Amino acid sequence: MNRLHVALGRVPRPALFAVAGLIQIAVIGAIVIDRASILRRGTEVTLDTRPVDPRDLLRGDYVQLRYRISNVRLDGLAGTPSKGRDTPIFVKLAPNADGFYEAVSAHLAPVPLADREVLIKGRVASGFNCGGNVSTFCATADVAYGIERYFVPEGEGRAIEAARNEGKVSVVAAVTPDGRAAIKRLLIDGKPVYDEPLF
């Protein structure tokens, strides 16, 4: 540790700041490229939502989203041992008669898919602590997919909340073959109101 400290002490401060800045730019660039990759190559699925409009003073307005697929039945997992909160879970989705994707089944590992089915990866938020002394999965679980917040221009969240109250809001998400998801567009009455740019 002393050698590292001495070696860093010999490097000019502007060079250290430049390296720190390059590392930050690289991390942000990797996040943007990863998200763009999901949006480009992911399968589009339309999800029915139940948004709430809180405020994040540091980032502007956002809509907190809850989906019909946020609470899933655990038919095949109920009563089996659980690792607790944030356990990775794969939820198989299929389109219903209205065109919205709904949960078909939940699994701890990827499973084969039929035509038009999609596997979305989430993390268990609740429903993992049944069974008394041993934690086992309950009959249902709340699942978070990483698409529960959607940031909108400042001052526009209230209009989305009003549309939510009338049951008019839905989301098109892109889901990659490995289950990662990102919101691609926000719809009101089936019409796009916000489209995520690829960059």
pLDDT in tens, 47-61: 888 755 455 544 557
Report pLDDT for 44. Answer: 87
Distance between CA atoms of residues 124 and 47, nearest Å: 19
Q: Is 7 left (phi over 0), alpha (psi -120 to 50) or beta?
A: alpha
Q: Let me know if residue 125 belongs to a domain.
A: yes
| Domain assignment of residue 48, yes or no | yes
pTM over 0.85: no
Contact 72, 143 (CB under 8 A): yes
Over 90: is that where the pLDDT of 31 sits? no
How do residues 135-153 score in pLDDT, each as one tens digit?
A: 889 999 999 999 998 888 8
6 belongs to a structural domain: no
Range of the domain at 107: 34-195
Q: Does residue 186 form part of some domain? A: yes
Strand 140-144 relative to strand 181-188, pairing: unpaired
Q: What is the mean pLDDT of residues 116-124?
A: 96
- Please tell me which residue, 146 or 15, carries the higher pLDDT value: 146
- Whether residue 105 lies inside any domain: the answer is yes
CB of 189 within 8 A of CB of 170? no
For residue 121, list its beta bridge partners: 90
The verdict on residue 12 lying in a domain is no
Q: Which H or E run contains 81?
A: none
Total structural domains within the chain: 1
